[in-house]
Amino acid sequence: MKNIFSIFKNHIKNVFRIYKRDMKNILTSYVTLAIIIALTILPSLYSWFNIKACWDPYANTKGLSVAVVNLDKGTEFRNVKINVGGDVVKKLADNQAIGWKFVSESEAENGVKYGKYYASLTIPKDFSQNLLSVVTQDTPKKGELIYSVNEKRNAIAPKITQKGATNLQEEITRNFIETSSNTILSYLNQFGIELESMKPELKNIIDVIVSVDSSMPEISKDIDGFYSQSLDFRKYMQNVQNSLPVTSDALNKTLSIAQTGNGYVNKTQQSLQAISPFVKTNLSLVKNVSDNTETLLKQLQDLKSSDTGATRKILVDVRDKYGDGVKKLDQILSLLNSINNALSNNRLENFINNLSNVRNQMSDQQNFISLLIDTIDRGSQVLPGDINSAIQGANKISSTLGNMIDNFDSETAPAIDQSLKNFIGLSDDSVKMLQNMQTNMPLISSLIGGINTASGSSVNRLKELKDKFPKIQQDIHSNSEKLKGLSEDEKFNEITKILKKDAKKESDFLANPIDLKQNRIYPIPNYGSAMSPFYTTLALWVGAFILLSLLSVEVKSFEDGVEFSAREQFFGRYLTFVTIAIMQAIVTTIGNLVLLKTYVVSPIVYVMLGVYTSIVFTMIIYTLVSVLRNIGKALAMVAMVLQVSASGGTFPIELMPHFFQNINPILPFTYAIGAMREAVGGILPQALIKNIVVLLIFFLISIFFGVFFKEKANRLSEKFVKQFKDSGLAGE
């Protein structure tokens, strides 16, 4: 046991022997002492300048030049001239929040373009007119402020100027609401006063409401009676209408066997001769539709498959054109089927069958195009093979229609004309009589149908009234009972009370219905003080890094020839570095408090945390350099760069990319800044202890690597270091 204690004591003695020699060398050499003093002060300058630079940047926003252009011509409302743009300019002239510059439109445009102004705000010529459109037009238009910003000149300035423009927009909106509502409420207030002079008339209205309420049961009974009678009448008219098709069918059969007269033949022929040209014309229209769809589909072959927006637009157009074509073919088929059903003709029937096939092909094409549109809507791309299939289908339809049109005059038209000629075979007198009857049948059917529809509509309206009447009856009864329960004065007070409220107070409430009550937890009075934890932490890391970059981690042998172990050298030289680092921390933190007057709730804790952070940082960097030499210096620099971005010292870490969010918990800066913030804003013990403990873990891990890996790593890298130094490029 004594031997162990003796060995430990000897190690401690050697560690402090190295430390004492370093301190003696510093204090006895003016050059070395001057360098150490400079190294002590240098990190604090980094902290002080940065904190002071961002002390209160938003207090100087009046230096941000923003051009204002007023083009508003104003308007007139009820013989009062209104120019909101002019009022805005007057308010901005007294507004010192931003450097407003009132210039012409061309000056503003060039000024923003060439960087003379950070942004411009243009009030259009119809600004006042659009604002008042809410009371002058059925469809009001919003007033617009045109905000133009030069984002190239500075990253932060556009955010500040945009906030100024937004505040101006809100101010105009608030004033508009307050003014308009004040005017409306003033009218209502005056109306409330006039209402008091109308008590006799209002009393009559109340009496009518009470009277109607007492008559409601009788009205309900009458509605039920009307509804029952309307149901019986509609049933009768439906029976009459149902018998009309039988009569019409018998008339048609009689008419078909009648012989035609010369007068009827001439008139009928003139009408029926137009059927063949009509069919051919519509076939040509359908072919044009098919040709257009084929052209549109071929355009898709030139588009990139990734351009789904343009592809979808063309496919929708194709689908709609196919839909029009199908409707047109349905009309033609309906006409031809009517002729063929009455007068059967083999050639006409073949033409109808072929045309039906074309109609089905076009319908299939429409459905296929719809499937392609659904494919795009699901986020997939349309395959080139699908486009080719659609083009082939369109080509087939166009080809078939072309053949049918080419053969129409020689085959189909004669068949239609022959059928129609056979149809005209009735005698003149018989046809006239039957024609009059047939002509009147649609009129009779229409009249009866109209009566039936009207009766049905009446039934529906009566049913709707019957269903809603209990609610109407309840509302009237409720209001009647309420008015009955009031005294004469209370009846009118109930109506006029709301109209006679203070218009100014009410309009102010409408313009500002919500007040924001801010509760500041851990308040910090200025931006510089809030940023001091970050810049102080960064300065301490920079200070430790500079120390390890300029001063050597190697311990020279003593003159008495005593050999020191790698661990003794590690701790002995660390004491030298940490002594200087502690002085850096004291100068930096006390300078923040005394010179900059940084706001800190717990100054003593603030200084102590600075010292503690410096001790931890020095151990981390010292271990890297002592074990890995120049590679360790490079790693320390990389660590600093990563920590500036990923520690959450400036922007919330949640706003950073995922990589920085993921490494945030393993960075020393995260916990050093967190501890400093506790001292600045107010200490939450749990948070402070957590940050201190995590920093202690970093410290212990660094000691572990320094104690157990320094000797092995140095031995492995000795040859590499020697060759590097022999190159003449290595630092001391």
**What is the rounded distance in angstroms from the CA atom of residue 612 to the CA atom of residue 668?**
12
Is 582 part of any domain? yes
Could you list the residue range(s) of the whole structural domain that residue 229 is in? Answer: 203-258+443-484
**Residue 434, pLDDT above cutoff 60:** no
Task: For tokens 């009820």, name the residue.
Answer: 78
Same structural domain, 533 and 565: yes
- How large a percentage of the chain has pLDDT more than 70? 64
Is 730 part of any domain? no
Nearest Cα to Cα of residue 533 among 675, 426, 687: 675
Q: 122 - beta bridge partners?
A: 69, 146
Model pLDDT for residues 550-566, shown as the tens digit of each residue: 888 888 777 766 777 88
Per-residue pLDDT band for 684 (boundaries 50, 70, 90) equals: very high
User: What is the chain's mean pLDDT, rounded?
Assistant: 77
Alpha carbon distances (Å) from 496 to 69, 193, 209? 47, 8, 18
**DSSP tag of 500:** G
Same structural domain, 132 and 276: no
**What is the rounded distance in angstroms from the CA atom of residue 436 to the CA atom of residue 443?**
11
Model pLDDT for residues 414-425, shown as the tens digit of each residue: 767 666 566 554
> What pLDDT sits at residue 14?
85
**Residue 447, pLDDT above cutoff 70:** no
Six token digits for residue 400: 């078939």
Same structural domain, 660 and 679: yes
Bridge-based pairing state of the strands 65-70 and 119-123: parallel
**Residue 683, pLDDT above cutoff 80:** yes
List, as one string, the DSSP characters of 577-594.
HHHHHHHHHHHHHHHHHH
**Residue 578, pLDDT above cutoff 90:** yes
For the ranges 119-128, 274-283, 634-643, which has the lowest average pLDDT? 274-283
**What is the rounded distance in angstroms from the CA atom of residue 321 to the CA atom of residue 314?**
11
> What pLDDT sits at residue 610?
97
Continuous H helices in 629-684: 630-646, 658-663, 668-681
Is 72 part of any domain? yes
**What is the rounded distance in angstroms from the CA atom of residue 695 to the CA atom of residue 675?**
10
**Residue 430, pLDDT above cutoff 50:** no
> What pLDDT sits at residue 290?
80
Rank 98-102, 210-214, 249-253, 633-637 by mean pLDDT and report only the highest. Answer: 633-637
Length, in residues, of the chain: 732
For residues 451, 453, 455, 461, the Cα torsion angle rounded to the nearest 10 degrees is -150
- What mean pLDDT is predicted for residues 627-650? 90
**DSSP tag of 155:** S
Q: 82 - beta bridge partners?
A: 75
Within 13 Å, how many C-alpha atoms sit on residue 257's CB side?
Answer: 4
Q: Could you tell me which residue, 362 or 177, shows the higher pLDDT?
A: 362
Is 101 part of any domain? yes
Q: 305 - beta bridge partners?
A: none
Amino acid at 132: L
Is 726 part of any domain? no
**What is the rounded distance in angstroms from the CA atom of residue 635 to the CA atom of residue 621?**
9
Same structural domain, 244 and 270: no
Same structural domain, 376 and 322: yes
Backbone dihedral angles phi then psi of residue 153, each to the nearest 5 degrees: -70, -40
Q: What is the CA radius of gyration of the chain?
A: 48
**Residue 427, pLDDT above cutoff 50:** no
Q: Could you tell me which residue, 171 or 428, shows the higher pLDDT?
A: 171
Same structural domain, 234 and 106: no
Q: Could you tell me which residue, 161 or 674, shows the higher pLDDT?
A: 674
Q: 80 - beta bridge partners?
A: 77
Q: CB-based burial of residue 111 (10 Å sphere; 0-12 exposed, 13-18 middle, 19+ buried)?
A: buried
> What pLDDT sits at residue 255?
53
Answer whether 59's CB lies under 8 Å from 118's CB.
Answer: no
**Residue 251, pLDDT above cutoff 70:** no
> What pLDDT sits at residue 606?
97
Counted domains in the chain? 4
Rank 99-108, 131-140, 385-394, 676-685 by mean pLDDT and report only the highest. Answer: 676-685
**Which of helix, strand or coil describes residue 68?**
strand
Same structural domain, 277 and 329: yes
Per-residue pLDDT band for 615 (boundaries 50, 70, 90) equals: very high
Q: pTM value?
A: 0.54
Same structural domain, 109 and 140: yes
Answer whether 65's CB lies under 8 Å from 116's CB.
Answer: yes
- What mean pLDDT is predicted for residues 163-180? 59
**DSSP tag of 558:** P
How far out from the chain centre does Cα 5 lie? 71
How far out from the chain centre does Cα 546 lie? 47
Same structural domain, 80 and 100: yes
Per-residue pLDDT band for 265 (boundaries 50, 70, 90) equals: very low
- How large a percentage of the chain has pLDDT more than 90? 22
**What is the rounded distance in angstroms from the CA atom of residue 165 to the CA atom of residue 67?**
11
- What mean pLDDT is predicted for residues 430-443? 55
Is 378 part of any domain? yes
Model pLDDT for residues 308-352, shown as the tens digit of each residue: 777 888 888 888 888 888 888 888 888 788 777 766 677 778 888
**What is the rounded distance in angstroms from the CA atom of residue 230 to the CA atom of residue 239?**
15
Within 13 Å, how many C-alpha atoms sit on residue 88's CB side?
Answer: 30
Q: Which of 484, 508, 535 is the last residue of a domain?
A: 484
Six token digits for residue 721: 């270091």
**What is the rounded distance in angstroms from the CA atom of residue 370 to the CA atom of residue 649?**
54
Answer whether 67's CB lies under 8 Å from 120's CB.
Answer: yes
Model pLDDT for residues 278-305, shown as the tens digit of each residue: 677 777 778 777 888 888 787 777 776 6
> What pLDDT sits at residue 470?
77
**Residue 474, pLDDT above cutoff 50:** yes
For the ranges 236-250, 380-394, 637-651, 688-702, which has the lowest average pLDDT? 236-250
The CATH number of the domain where 277 resides is what?
1.20.120
Alpha carbon distances (Å) from 387 to 310, 419, 423? 14, 43, 48
**What is the rounded distance in angstroms from the CA atom of residue 16 to the CA atom of residue 11?**
9
Backbone dihedral angles phi then psi of residue 430, each to the nearest 5 degrees: -65, -40
> What pLDDT sits at residue 234?
60
- What mean pLDDT is predicted for residues 583-598? 96
Query: What is the per-residue burial (b if ≥16 Cβ within 10 Å, else e) of 463-474?
Result: eeeeeeeeeebe
**Residue 531, pLDDT above cutoff 90:** yes
Is 496 part of any domain? no
Rank 107-116, 140-149, 535-544 by mean pLDDT and report only the highest. Answer: 535-544
**Residue 210, pLDDT above cutoff 80:** no
**Residue 398, pLDDT above cutoff 70:** yes
Q: Which of 154, 171, 194 is the last residue of a domain?
A: 194
**Which of helix, strand or coil describes residue 122?**
strand
Model pLDDT for residues 685-713, shown as the tens digit of each residue: 999 999 999 999 999 999 998 888 877 77
Same structural domain, 113 and 221: no
Nearest Cα to Cα of residue 444 among 209, 240, 665, 702: 240
Same structural domain, 99 and 116: yes
Is 490 part of any domain? no
Same structural domain, 584 and 708: yes
Q: Which of 484, 502, 536 is the last residue of a domain?
A: 484
> What pLDDT sits at residue 544?
95
> What pLDDT sits at residue 279?
75
> What pLDDT sits at residue 520?
76
> What pLDDT sits at residue 262?
46
Rank 36-40, 143-147, 315-319, 349-353 by mean pLDDT and report only the highest. Answer: 36-40
